[in-house]
Amino acid sequence: MIVADRKPMEEILAMLAPYKRVLVLACGGCVTVCVSGGEKQADLLASQLKLAAAAAGRADVQFDVDCITRQCDREFAAMLKKPLDQYDAVLSIACGVGVGFMSELAPQATVLPGLNTTSYDASTAKGVWQEYCGGCGDCLLAETGGICPIVRCSKGLTNGTCGGTKTGKCEVSKDMDCGWYLIFKKLQAAGKLELYTKVRPAKKWSKDRNGKGARRLTHKELMETEEFSK
Amino acid sequence: MTTTALNENTPVNPNEPVSRLQREFQAGHFVVSGEIGPPKGTSIEKCLHEAEEYLKHTVVAVNVTDIQTAVMRTGSMAISHMLVDRGIEPIFQMVTRDRNRLALQSDLLSAWCLGIRNVLALTGDHVAMGDHADAKPVFDLDSVGLLRAMTTLENGSDMGLDAKGNANVLEGSPKFFKGCCVTPCADEVEPQILKLQMKVAAGAQYVQTQAVYEPAAFEKFMTEIRKRGINVPVLVGIVQLKTAGMGKYMNTSVPGVKVPDWILKKLTDASKEDRQKISIDICGQLVREMKDMCQGAHLMTLGWDHCVPDIIKAAGL
Amino acid sequence: MRDVDLTSAAMAKLTGTTELLDREWAPCRNACPVHADVRAYLEAAAAGDFVAAAEIIRRDIPFASICGRICHHPCEQNCRRADVEGAVAIREVKRFVVEGLGASAPVHKAILQNKAAVAIVGAGPAGLAAALDLAKLGYRPTVFEKFPVAGGIPRTAIPKYRLPADVVKQDVDWIAAHGVTIVTGVEIGKDKTIADLQKQFAAVLVTTGLAKSRTLPLPGADHPRVLPVLTFLEAVAFDQPLDIGKNVLVIGGGNVAVDAARSAVRLGARVQMMMLEDEQEMPAWWWEQHEAKDEGVTFIHRRGPVEIVVKGGKITGLKHRKVTRVFDEAKKFSPTYDDADQAVAACDAVILAIGQMPDLGFLAGCDVKPDANGRVLFGINKATHETAVAGVFAAGEIVTPPGSAVEACASGQRAAKAIDMFLSGKPIVLNDATPPYIGTIDAQTADKLIRCDRNPTPTEPADVRAKNWNEFEHTFPEPTALAEARRCMSCGSGAEVVVDKCAACQTCFRVCPFDIPKVTDVARIDSALCQACGLCMAACPANAIVPKGYEPHALRDRVKSAVGKLPAGKKVVAFINGFHADAASWTGKADPAPAGVAEIYLSSISRLGPAEILAAIEAGATGVLVVTEPAGADRYPTTMRKAHAYVTRVRTMLKEIGLNPDRAQLAVRTAANRAVVVAAERDCMNSLIR
């Protein structure tokens, strides 16, 4: 799932400073699951914003809260209690997708990000989410024992450990596993160590975000026409 | 005064040595290499002077580090080229941290044009280790990828494809003596050996190792790689320990390096004025003990370049 | 799962209703014949609000005082706390609550009592319960009672060591205060006939119960010292002189027999009970058996009476024989005997307590006739309470199998509904359907609950109580009543998931101390297992969990209003875990909190999340103090840790917006007394800089 973390409060306060009528818009999708951008977090954030405004002597500001099932699907926008452009600003606490999509759906509205979107994670323990996929568009997991070297190796290397590996940890931090060491251990355990030294062509970074515009997934059978505007 | 090599595209005998370093190995000599680090800034005189003064006549080739430990400094290619100009053979270190495959290939061609023949392919320390932690780490290729890129260039094409899907043909191709690095005394050596295998398969022709202080472990490593058919020449890496504190630091912070107690004790026991001599002796002793296991030694004196002649003497070379 | 709409749209419509709660009952309520809302009155009692608790009790239980003493409490038999370590002493809490209020129990009369007049024959539990409901509906009931006092069996036959006369009077008076006319000393069938009543009243309800003792045609049974049990108990109840000798034998193994035996003990006799059944088979409640034995009553099981041996005009013993079986294969009462095994038990008086039967004297001068088998009456339609005569109804034990007072009340209440329909010209259709009720708690969950043993009922020592007529059981002192009410697990009032908001994030499961939520497509929280701690509600990022037991916004409204009432200046809202609080503190009747402090007691701090703490500050509180119990001292195992985490979180949030983090504080109560709370409140107040 997509994981996002709340932006530092001072950044949010600075972003919202020019606005009076603000909607804190939660998303019922991934950010609810990672307990960063659900309706409860929107309530709490609105509460904080109201207190901050009161402390700053601003009586003219108003903070509403709304939540839709997902901010990344057009249809759910119909759930909004009020059109977004009726607010001076919308602080979306969805991932960046929601912020961008809501902004696109409401051309007149100012939609601002309340979270920093970080990664694609699994919940590894109570209250802990960890990145497992780099979304690189060219999945290597078949050859790496299901451990993503793009995510787990600090350098995103594709051909084994570098010289910075030390007792299974990365040179960057002794608290950080060496991704390729994990892959080595996993492949060793699975009896597939030949995959470790397999000749891998240089990674196709063209599949990653690379300046060619937004990547796009299309399922032709689900499209109304094969032509689409964007 | 420049000795820029001619951009010739003549067929080359694959065994024809492209550098003095390669020739020395082929001749079966025990090879010693040194190392200099370019400065942060434009005042390069000191490092060039030391190379000329202490290394030119004592070692076969001199490594020029490439933005070492991710601390921004003058580039390896420029200094390597200046060594060429001064009749000193450089080993051009190249890390993959800071350049994508376009820049790496281009710089390889540039380096060849500037008379640089020895290249040492390295992944490079993470930017987090250096003084520009917010820089975007590139790592488009890793050391294996860089070695393959060199091999590809040598074969007359680059990594890209033309519109028809064919390899792009170079107008004139380089020929390098391609090196790589390994950590022989890593706590778990198997991944190191596997990686070395990959590097050699990708075209590596010699190896400079991470610092080694344990001859027995090194011997085991050498036996193992030879057993696996890795027959390229190996230069054992010797980092000159200036103080016991430095040794302890390496034990805790440098991956795959173990400084044994006898060395730490010698350094601790040494008086301040004796310390440099003791330090030289230790290096000499290590080289002596390991020279029969390998094909050369790579001396990393970290600013004490003036010690190189004495270390070589102490090593009995 | 249950076929109910749990989407946010459907749930929004339920705001302010109890529909969520009413969809599924706790087993205590289901088991109660009048379906008293046990959980609700225990919750009110737990919060020290005894007036509210009494209101809830009296809403369904007309004989609250009586039931607080003698109810056979099926609620307790079905209490799920029994699956953990012992049922909640529900009856004792009820007794405490009702007794505390005494005669001042609030009366809610019908605004207009101008509907038809209804006559009720018999002022026992069934009759008075019907009268009460009819009066509340605006009818004008008159209850005729042959005894000089109202109350029925509880007054005339239940011995006063169990139920003093003034306790009965309290309930009777309370019922009468609702506009019920009670005419005592008038016996229908003798002083008046049902036909007479039909002329004066639009409907007649017969609730004469089982007023006659069954007899046995034994040789010697006509001896004056052979007493039918009701004759004996009535004489005891009205302090009439009795000649029972020194060595009494009570025949019968039911609860009435035990009452008779224990009464005879108090009259100074040596008492034996003889019955057909063995210890397991005998119908008297097990606790009655124990209490009787403790008082010295001897039990003779599996013996059937043959003859009352009379010598020289005096009873010398009872000849009895061996019982070979009591019930046949079909579990029907069908005793067989072994006549070869006979013996004589010495005694000088016999009380026949083998059951009661209706006294059909009231039928004199009436068209209503008894039906063939005598006990089941006059072609009654049990579904509608109608007799063969239009306008004449029947309820109580005259209709139902013999039972307890509360069962008679239930029958009377049902009859009142039937009469209302009849008098409203509607067809009589009574729907006895109740909502489904939640099942037992599984052992896995029970194991995770904090153990909390049942408080024993204060009881007079057997050797003392056997010598007097004083009540042998005493009312709980307040701390015990509170502790006992707080043992209630609030069954069925826990979490409900709003399915269209749930993101299946597993947070509820992860915070639940009992591992109850199961998250598949959405979270499912089994109401049979949920402990209503509120932790998942506080944590749910989707706001998808609502408590069934209270209005989610009620707490914020309460805080807002409390802060509004504080004088200008520094204001502190203290959220206090009420698990060990005394009633006076909880209800604001104790030493006042320091000036500027508004106390909000909660049944557990678990229900408090960062949102509620921030809301208090938003509402104008300078500071919020959360007073929790030390780890393990609350009803839920993780309360203190969560309270700490949430206060810490709020402190961070305050800091983020440049406010003093000390505006949110946690105090762990080290001792369960008010002074500690007040001191913490004062400290909090003093630490806040305006």
Distance (Å) from the C-alpha of residue C13 to the closest C-alpha of chain A? 17
Contact assignment for A39 to C543 by CB distance below 8 Å: yes
Query: How many CB atoms sit inside 10 A of residue C259's CB?
Result: 26
Query: How many CB atoms sit inside 10 A of residue C100's CB?
Result: 18
Site from A16, A32, A81 to mutate, C interface, most C CB atoms within 10 angstroms: A32
CATH of domain C212-356: 3.50.50.60
Looking at the structure, tell me whether residues A75 and A140 fall in a common domain: no
Measured distance CA(B211)–CA(B189) in Å, rounded: 14
Distance (Å) from the C-alpha of residue C611 to the closest C-alpha of chain A? 6
Facing residue for A181 by CB, picked from B142, B191, B210: B191
Strands B206-211 and B234-239: parallel
Distance (Å) from the C-alpha of residue B309 to the closest C-alpha of chain A? 29
Q: How far is CA B131 from CA B200, B280, C292, in A?
A: 32, 31, 90
Q: Where are the alpha helices (DSSP H) in C242-325?
A: 255-266, 286-294
Site from B139, B152, B253, B300 to mutate, A interface, most A CB atoms within 10 angstroms: B139
> How high is the pLDDT of residue C371?
63
For chain C, which residues lie within 8 Å of any Cβ of chain A, measuring from their own Cβ? Answer: 500-501, 503-507, 510, 539-543, 609-611, 614-615, 617-618, 653-654, 656-659
The matching CATH number, chosen from 2.60.40.60, 3.40.350.10, 1.20.140.10, 3.20.20.220, for B20-242+295-308 is: 3.20.20.220
Average pLDDT over residues B215-230: 96
Facing residue for A44 by CB, picked from C501, C503, C614: C614
Measured distance CA(C593)–CA(A217) in Å, rounded: 64
Give all chains having 3 or more CB-to-CB distances under 8 Å with chain C. Answer: A
Q: Which two structure tokens, joined as six digits, stand for A193? A: 């160590």
Looking at the structure, tell me whether residues A140 and A113 fall in a common domain: no
Predicted confidence band of residue C291 (pLDDT cuts 50, 70, 90):
very high
Looking at the structure, tell me whether residues A95 and A180 fall in a common domain: no
Site from C522, C543, C556, C653 to mutate, A interface, most A CB atoms within 10 angstroms: C543
- Give the sheet arrangement for strand C303-311, strand by strand: C303-311, C314-327, C333-346
Measured distance CA(C665)–CA(C654) in Å, rounded: 12
Measured distance CA(B163)–CA(B154) in Å, rounded: 22
Distance (Å) from the C-alpha of residue B123 to the closest C-alpha of chain A? 7
Residue B249 contacts A, CB cutoff 8 Å? no
With both helix axes pointing from N to C terminus, report the angle between B190-202 and B143-154 in degrees, rounded to the nearest 10. 20
Mean pLDDT of chain C: 93
Burial class (CB in 10 A: 0-12, 13-18, 19+), C51: middle
> How high is the pLDDT of residue B8?
47
Predicted confidence band of residue B12 (pLDDT cuts 50, 70, 90):
low
Mean pLDDT of chain B: 93
Q: What is the pLDDT of residues C637-682, one digit of tens each?
A: 999 999 999 999 999 999 999 999 999 999 998 877 888 999 999 9
Distance (Å) from the C-alpha of residue C540 to the closest C-alpha of chain A? 7
> How high is the pLDDT of residue C3?
63
Facing residue for A171 by CB, picked from B126, B148, B191: B126
Contact assignment for A55 to C654 by CB distance below 8 Å: no
Strand partners, C336: C325
Average pLDDT over residues B160-173: 94
- Torsion of Cα atoms, C678 then C683 then C689 then C690, to 10°: 0
Facing residue for A202 by CB, picked from B97, B141, B192: B141
> How high is the pLDDT of residue C334?
93
Task: Indicate whether B241 pLDDT > 50.
Answer: yes
Contact assignment for C500 to A43 by CB distance below 8 Å: no
Q: What is the pLDDT of residues A163-210, one digit of tens each?
A: 999 889 999 998 999 999 999 999 999 999 999 999 888 998 888 877
Q: Please give the residue of chain A at the shortest CA–CA distance from C657.
A: A52
CATH of domain C554-687: 3.40.50
> How high is the pLDDT of residue B2?
42
Q: Which chain A residues are within 8 Å of C657, Cβ to Cβ?
A: 9, 13, 48-49, 51-52, 55
Facing residue for B101 by CB, picked from A163, A172, A202: A202
Facing residue for C503 by CB, picked from A32, A48, A49: A32
CA angle C542, A60, A14 (to 5 degrees): 65
Q: What residue type is assigned to position C143 of the chain? A: V
Contact assignment for C618 to A9 by CB distance below 8 Å: no
Segments of chain C assigned to CATH 1.10.1060:
25-106+435-485
> How high is the pLDDT of residue B110?
98
**Is residue A39 domain-resident?**
yes
Task: Indicate whether C372 pLDDT > 80.
Answer: no
Sign of the four-CA dihedral A144, A148, A154, A156: positive
Looking at the structure, tell me whether residues A92 and A143 fall in a common domain: no
Predicted confidence band of residue B228 (pLDDT cuts 50, 70, 90):
very high
> How high is the pLDDT of residue C204?
96
> How high is the pLDDT of residue A215?
85
User: Are C629 and C486 contacting, i.e. CB atoms less than 8 angstroms apart?
Assistant: no
- Of B205, B157, B211, which Cα lies nearest the Cα of B186? B211
Contact assignment for C657 to A35 by CB distance below 8 Å: no
User: Are B208 and B120 contacting, i.e. CB atoms less than 8 angstroms apart?
Assistant: yes
User: Are C349 and C244 contacting, i.e. CB atoms less than 8 angstroms apart?
Assistant: yes
Task: Indicate whether C584 pLDDT > 60.
Answer: yes
Give all chains having 3 or more CB-to-CB distances under 8 Å with chain B. Answer: A
Facing residue for B183 by CB, picked from A163, A168, A173: A163
Which residues neighbour C616 within 8 Å (Cβ) at sequence distance 6 or greater?
C559, C563, C573, C575, C624
Distance (Å) from the C-alpha of residue C505 to the closest C-alpha of chain A? 4
> How high is the pLDDT of residue A66?
97
How far is residue C545 CA from its own chain's centroid?
30
Residue B148 contacts A, CB cutoff 8 Å? yes
> How high is the pLDDT of residue C49?
95
Measured distance CA(A178)–CA(A141) in Å, rounded: 16
Distance (Å) from the C-alpha of residue A192 to the closest C-alpha of chain C? 35
**Is residue A217 domain-resident?**
no
CATH T-level fold of C1-24+492-550: Alpha-Beta Plaits (3.30.70)
User: Are C572 and C596 contacting, i.e. CB atoms less than 8 angstroms apart?
Assistant: yes
Run of H or E including B163: none
- For tokens 């002596």, name the residue: B288
Asked whether at least 3 C-beta pairs link A and B within 8 Å, the reply is: yes
Distance (Å) from the C-alpha of residue C602 to the closest C-alpha of chain A? 21
Q: What is the pLDDT of residues C47-103, one digit of tens each?
A: 999 999 999 999 999 999 999 999 999 999 999 999 999 999 999 999 999 998 877
Q: Which chain C residues are within 8 Å of A34, Cβ to Cβ?
A: 505
Which residues neighbour C560 within 8 Å (Cβ) at sequence distance 6 or greater?
C615, C619
**Is residue A220 domain-resident?**
no
Looking at the structure, tell me whether residues A41 and A71 fall in a common domain: yes
> How high is the pLDDT of residue C377?
55
φ, ψ of residue A11 to 5 degrees: the values are: -70, -40
Facing residue for B194 by CB, picked from A154, A164, A196: A196
Contact assignment for A165 to B191 by CB distance below 8 Å: yes
Which architecture characterizes domain C25-106+435-485 according to CATH? Orthogonal Bundle (1.10)
Predicted confidence band of residue C474 (pLDDT cuts 50, 70, 90):
very high
Percent of chain A with pLDDT over 70: 97
Q: Which chain B residues are within 8 Å of A193, Cβ to Cβ?
A: 194
* Domain encompassing residue A201: 134-207
Global confidence as pTM = 0.86
Average pLDDT over residues C26-35: 96
Q: Please give, one letter per residue, the 3-state secondary structure of chain A.
A: CEEEEECCHHHHHHHHCCCCEEEEEEECCHHHHCCCCCHHHHHHHHHHHHHHHHHCCCCCCEEEEEEECCCCCHHHHHHCCCCHHHCCEEEECCCHHHHHHHHHHCCCCCEEECEEEEEEEEEEECCEEEEEECCCCCCCHHHCCCCCHHHHCCCCCCCCCCCCCECCEECCEEEEECHHHHHHHHHHHCCCHHHCCCCCCCCCHHHCCCCCCCCCCCCHHHCCCCCCCC
**Is residue A126 domain-resident?**
no
Site from B194, B239, B251 to mutate, A interface, most A CB atoms within 10 angstroms: B194
Which residues neighbour B16 within 8 Å (Cβ) at sequence distance 6 or greater?
none
Which residues neighbour B295 within 8 Å (Cβ) at sequence distance 6 or greater?
B25, B30, B31, B206, B233, B234, B235
- Using DSSP's 3-state secondary structure scheme, residue C226 falls into strand
Which residues neighbour C492 within 8 Å (Cβ) at sequence distance 6 or greater?
C21, C24, C25, C26, C39, C437, C438, C527, C528, C548
Measured distance CA(B299)–CA(B310) in Å, rounded: 12
Q: What is the pLDDT of residues C144-184, one digit of tens each?
A: 999 999 999 999 999 999 999 999 999 999 999 999 999 99
Task: Indicate whether C549 pLDDT > 90.
Answer: no
Q: Where are the alpha helices (DSSP H) in C424-470?
A: 443-448, 462-465
Burial class (CB in 10 A: 0-12, 13-18, 19+), C338: exposed
Contact assignment for A51 to C657 by CB distance below 8 Å: yes
Average pLDDT over residues A133-158: 94
Contact assignment for A161 to B125 by CB distance below 8 Å: no
User: Are C233 and C259 contacting, i.e. CB atoms less than 8 angstroms apart?
Assistant: yes
Contact assignment for A38 to C657 by CB distance below 8 Å: no
> How high is the pLDDT of residue B4?
42
Structure-model confidence comparison of residues C377 and B201, the more confident one: B201
> How high is the pLDDT of residue B3?
42
- Using DSSP's 3-state secondary structure scheme, residue C171 falls into helix
When divided into structural domains, chain A yields a total of 2
Predicted confidence band of residue C378 (pLDDT cuts 50, 70, 90):
low
Asked whether at least 3 C-beta pairs link C and B within 8 Å, the reply is: no
Q: Which chain B residues are within 8 Å of A166, Cβ to Cβ?
A: 186-187, 254-256
Facing residue for A43 by CB, picked from C539, C611, C659: C611
**Is residue A227 domain-resident?**
no
Query: How many CB atoms sit inside 10 A of residue C554's CB?
Result: 11
**Is residue A41 domain-resident?**
yes
DSSP state for residue C386 in the 8-state scheme: B
Contact assignment for B125 to A205 by CB distance below 8 Å: no
Measured distance CA(C540)–CA(C519) in Å, rounded: 13
Facing residue for A41 by CB, picked from C541, C654, C656: C541
Q: Please give, one letter per residue, the 3-state secondary structure of C123-152.
A: CCHHHHHHHHHHHHCCCEEEEEECCCCCCC
Looking at the structure, tell me whether residues A115 and A142 fall in a common domain: no
CATH T-level fold of C117-211+358-423: FAD/NAD(P)-binding domain (3.50.50)
DSSP-assigned states of every residue in C14-38: TTT--HHHHTSB-HHHHHSTT---H
CATH number at residue A44: 3.40.50
Task: Indicate whether C124 pLDDT > 60.
Answer: yes
Q: Which chain A residues are within 8 Å of C653, Cβ to Cβ?
A: 44, 48
DSSP state for residue C307 in the 8-state scheme: E
Site from C638, C648, C657 to mutate, A interface, most A CB atoms within 10 angstroms: C657
Q: Which chain A residues are within 8 Å of B191, Cβ to Cβ?
A: 160-161, 165, 180-181, 184, 196
Measured distance CA(C278)–CA(C272) in Å, rounded: 14
Task: Indicate whether C492 pLDDT > 80.
Answer: yes
